[in-house]
Amino acid sequence: MSYWGPEEGRGWRPDDDETVVMPAVPREIRSHRARGRGRGRGAGRPEPAAAVPPHADGPVRRAVRGIGEVLITCGLIVMLFAGYEIWGKQIVIHKQQDRYEQQLQRAWQDPPKKADDAPPLPGQALARLYIPRFGIKLIVVQGVTPEDIRNAPGHYPDSAMPGQIGNFAVAGHREDAIFPRNFDKLRMGDDIIVQTRTTWFVYRTYQQQIVDPHQVDVVNPVPGEPADAKPTKALVTLTTCNPWWDNYQRLIYHGKLVRQMPTADGMPKELKG
């Protein structure tokens, strides 16, 4: 039993066997406390108003947001285009080079129907081109129209065939899958090697030029001379765009034939290192 009163002691305490709980507050005490809270600071003040939602976007804000979205979209398009230029084009060129390689192997396996140095039809595989400095191995096609050289270097139709006296002239795009961006680092004395059905031709570079696109005499039988000048040496000329990101100039390399060997004798030593 619990008790409350001064005659029994100060305050309330439970019997030893009674569960301890918080006693209920008498009604008169609750009323007194409620009145005290009413007289406290801030009594009678209204509750704070709810936050006012932001105003709808005005025309300026909508215009800024629209411009931002357009710029982000343009940026993504530029990134996708750059990715295609760097990687996508290389994939396409490699696949087409594989097709040219198969075409060349079939042509070389068949018995020759005409002289070995006769050119194939425009756009068809002609020979293999190697440039050890850059690890280049490419199929050269006949012709230099935009379609001919889209995925391969092309042989100028009016120039000499590989190994012939005259100028075997070849044009190619300046991109990593054909003539790479650092193609201007080819050194004098570096090898340019051409393989036909029967013969390896090893040329050695002796001159680099940067010329105007209209200076076509660089692919003449005697480079830099009139077209009717009589050649006395077997030369090779490679032409490509300069600088690599544009085409307002042409980067030119000239090489002279230093030796040749039958393909039946295996690979030349210049490709074994």
User: In the predicted model, what is the mean pLDDT of the chain?
Assistant: 82
Find the catalytic residue in 32, 173, 214, 254: 173
**Tell me: the pLDDT tens digits for 97-149?**
999 999 999 999 877 665 555 788 999 999 999 999 999 999 999 999 999 99
DSSP 84: I
| Residue 241 is a catalytic residue | yes
Find the catalytic residue in 74, 155, 214, 241: 241
Q: State the Cα–Cα distance between residues 120 and 103, nearest whole angstrom.
A: 11
CB 140 within 8 A of CB 156: no
Q: State the Cα–Cα distance between residues 33 and 29, nearest whole angstrom.
A: 6
- Name residue, tokens 């039988």: 221
CB 211 within 8 A of CB 250: yes
3-state secondary structure of 269: helix
**Tell me: the pLDDT tens digits for 215-239?**
999 999 999 999 999 999 999 999 9
Question: For the domain with range 87-271, which CATH number is right: 3.40.50.300, 2.60.40.10, 2.60.40.420, 2.40.260.10?
Answer: 2.40.260.10
- CB burial string 111-149: b at 16+ within 10 A, e below: eeeeeeeeebeebbbbbbbbbeeeebebbbbbbbeeebb
| Residue 213, C-beta contacts closer than 8 angstroms, at least 6 positions apart | 247, 248, 249, 250
Write the single-letter amino acid at 213.
P
**Tell me: the pLDDT tens digits for 52-76?**
455 556 787 777 777 887 877 777 6
Cα distance from N-terminal residue to C-terminal residue, the chain:
109
Q: State the Cα–Cα distance between residues 107 and 252, nearest whole angstrom.
A: 30
| Residue 32 is a catalytic residue | no
